[in-house]
Amino acid sequence: MKKSKEKIIILGSSVFGEEVADYISNIEDYELVGFVEGMHRDRCRKPLLGLPVIWIDDLARFIESCPCKAVCAVGSPKRKDFIQQAISSGLEFTTIVHPAAQVSQTAMLGIGTIISPGAIIAVSTSIGCHNIINRGSLIGHHVDIGDYVTISPGANIAGGSKIGDLCYIGMGAVILDKISIGSNSVVGAGSVVTKDVPPSVQVLGIPARIIKYF
């Protein structure tokens, strides 16, 4: 008997939503059933990739008729509010791991996290909930990543590092081993982080230095 596919809906109808839709198309156990929009209601007027775009206030009614789980395709850590709104509508989340990613069997992945193609997650690493681990990201051994974190394409996080909640790690950034990045902080693209970063700052450069406080 053929196993039924789990229905998935994507929060976000931007170009990244289309990219995550492509990820899902490569996972045999999933069937994409639509998108959810919470900012631009006009996007709900027409289908995306042939699927409905549901306004967030109508989500509860949609999942009542079409039970499904979700991931969030909003690249900024600000996706937290959108996710919480969806949860309050009764939506549950799942974790997406692209078949072209390499994830250690000893790694732990939180609910709602997206692991993109080419990402490598090493031994005994813990990745929290609702994170986006982008294309080609390298996450070393014994790394601890909080919730609502975005790791941009090509970032390299060395072993023993710790990334706090709501951080954004820019494209191609390098974080040396045993470095801590405080919650709500941003590491600029191409930066090399050689010492701990406090919470709620932006760092940039080689070596990375604080350029902004939030």
From 40, 130, 141, 142, the catalytic residue:
141
Q: Is 130 a catalytic residue?
A: no
Q: What's the per-residue H, E or C state across the chain? A: CCCCCEEEEEECCCHHHHHHHHHHHCCCCEEEEEEEECCCHHHHHCCECCECEEEHHHHHHHHHHCCCEEEECCCCCCHHHHHHHHHHCCCEECCEECCCCEECCCCEECCCCEECCCCEECCCCEECCCCEECCCCEECCCCEECCCCEECCCCEECCCCEECCCCEECCCCEECCCCEECCCCEECCCCEECCCECCCEEEECCCCEEEEEC
Question: Which residues are part of the catalytic machinery?
Answer: 141
